Amino acid sequence: MLRSDTLFGKRETNTPNSPLATSSGIVPTGTSGLNKTIAPITSPTSSSGSDSPSGASSEGGSKLIVGPNIKLKGVEITDCDTLVVEGRVEATIDSRVIQISERGAFKGSAEIDIAEIRGEYEGDLTVRQKLVIYSTGKVSGKVRYGKVVIEEGGQLSGDIQVGTTSAAKSLSVAKVG
């Protein structure tokens, strides 16, 4: 007999010493595994930080992974620390980190601290700290960034400006003469 510890968790087989094992195979009432707290999913990364060159670490935060062949369209993504795009996403997001894989594509609007683009990004992109476009990456649209790194072969096109809107508001222009 199989039982589930969490709604979407991995299944475990009942063992003779299991608290849910009975001679009749009937689970006593009040012992359902569905009312237990779901344990957070941890990433298999090392505790020393992230493997990404930008130093972006997703430990301790919420992470949404849109896998290959998945299309997510017409949404607003909130309360997400790291968005990993391996499929296609059409959305609006305000997050800490976005990572677009080589086959991933994002279309929409994003306000991000750190963006790592290996695939395609199209739309309004505001990167408060660092935009990294790898050799396979293509970014187009209205782009604002704090710092930019573009590998040979990476593409950046559209309305491009250094400085984010919040940083631009805090700048004062000194008049000489």
Q: Cβ neighbours of residue 24 under 8 Å, at least 6 residues apart?
A: none
pLDDT in tens, 105-158: 999 999 999 999 999 999 999 999 999 999 999 999 999 999 999 999 999 999
Give Cβ neighbours of residue 97 (< 8 Å, ≥ 6 apart): 56, 58, 81, 82, 83, 112, 113, 114, 115, 116
Domain regions of the chain by residue span: 1-39, 63-167
Give dist(CA 34, CA 157) in Å, integer: 50
pLDDT tens column, 50-64: 444 444 444 568 999
Q: Does residue 64 contact residue 79 with C-beta atoms inside 8 Å? A: no
Please tell me the distance from the alpha carbon of residue 155 to that of residue 10, in angstroms, as a whole number: 42
Does the pTM exceed 0.75? Answer: no
